[in-house]
Structure 1
C-alpha cells in the first residue's frame, strides 16, 4: 500500500504542477523532495508494476556492456542530452514514445522523465539500430540500473513503438502499456495514445 501511494503521489504532483504551466526548471524543488521517495519505491517494488519489472529480463543488455553517460538536459518525455565518450549526444529512448510539445500531457511526461533521470547514474544499452533518421542515438536508458523506458510505459507517460528491428522489450512493454491504460495512469486519460498513430 505504501509503495502504491508514493507512485500515485508522484503522478498526482506531476499533474498538479504542470497545471500551473511551470517549466521543468521551475519544478526542481518538487523533484528534489519527491524523487528519493520515488526511487525507493522502484527499488523495493511497487504493486502497480509487475513484481519482476526491475529485474533483468531476456532482452536486457548486461550492465558491463552498457555505456556510462552523464545527463546534460531533459528534452521531453522520451529524449535527453547526455555526455557520453566525451561527446554531447541527443538520445532517443528505444520503444517509448511520449507526447510532443503542444500535445496533451507533454508537460507531465517531460516532468516524469526528468524525475526518473535527474541526479541518477545513467548507462546506455543498445539494440540493433545505432541512430535514428535524425542522427540521435537510439538507446535503452538505465538510471541507477532501472530501465527508464519500462518505468515511463508502466506509469502511463509513454506508449510503445517498434522501431525497425529494435524489439528486445516490445512484447513486455506492450503488456505494461495495456495495464497502464486499463488503470488510467499517466497520459492515458487524455486519449493521446489512442489516435492510431505512433508518430508524435
Structure 2
C-alpha cells in the first residue's frame, strides 16, 4: 500500500522554517551576563555567574604581565572599566582555553573591554584561532593608539611583548 504525503500549507510552512534555520549563521554569538568580582591582570578577570565564580580571559588581546612595564596600568584600566558592574560576556567559537578559563569578549554599556584596552595602548592584539571574530577591529584600535601615542605607544611600544616576557620570566 502506498502512502502519500500531500504538500499541505502547514507542511510547506514547516519546510520554509526548516530552510530558514539551515540558512541562518551556524552559531549566533552566545552572550551571558555576569557580575564583576575582580581583575587578575589586564586581560584576565573573575566574575560571578549563576552563583559560581568564573575566570575569564579576554579574547584577542595580550596585556603586559605582572612586573612587566604597564602591567599595573592595564590592570587598573580593567578594574575601572568593570568595577561594580554587570558585564556581558560574548563567546566566540572556543569557549574555554587549556587552563579552563572562559574565553570572552567583555562588554558594559555597549563598549568592549578587549578593544578599549588596545585603544588605550595597554594591550596588543593577538590572533588565536579559531576565536578571531573581532581581530580586525583590534588592529584598528592598535593603529589608533599608536597614532595618538596612548599608553605604552607614547614611548614607541613595549620593550618586550607579553609573550616574550612570559618566555624570559617563567613562573616559579
Task: Give the TM-score of the pair, scaled to structure 1.
Answer: 0.63
Q: Which has the higher strand share?
A: 2
- CA distance in structure 2 between the aligned counterparts of 1:121 and 1:114, rounded to whole angstroms: 13
The match for 2:85 among 104, 114, 120 is: 120
- CA distance in structure 2 between the aligned counterparts of 1:116 and 1:182, rounded to whole angstroms: 23
Unmatched 5+ residue regions in structure 2?
A: 1-27, 167-172
Superposed CA offset, 1:55-103 (max 9, x none): xxxxxx66xx410101111111111001113320100000111101010
Which aligned pairs between 1:74-85 and structure 2 lie closer than 5 A? 74-85=39-50
Partner of 1:186: 151
Q: Which has the higher helix share?
A: 1
- CA distance in structure 2 between the aligned counterparts of 1:175 and 1:101, rounded to whole angstroms: 26
- CA distance in structure 1 between the aligned counterparts of 2:57 and 2:92, rounded to whole angstroms: 12
The match for 2:134 among 147, 169, 177 is: 169
Secondary structure at 1:122's aligned position in 2?
Answer: strand
Partner of 2:105: 140
When Rg is computed on C-alpha atoms for both structures, the one with the higher figure is 2
Instruction: Please say if residues 47 and 53 of structure 2, whose CA atoms lie closer than 8 Å, have aligned partners that are also in contact.
Output: yes
Task: Give the TM-score of the pair, scaled to structure 2.
Answer: 0.73
1:159 has 2:124 as partner? yes
- CA distance in structure 2 between the aligned counterparts of 1:97 and 1:112, rounded to whole angstroms: 14
Give aligned pairs, total: 138
Partner of 1:24: none
Partner of 1:94: 59
- CA distance in structure 1 between the aligned counterparts of 2:160 and 2:76, rounded to whole angstroms: 23
Instruction: Please say if residues 82 and 89 of structure 1, whose CA atoms lie closer than 8 Å, have aligned partners that are also in contact.
Output: yes
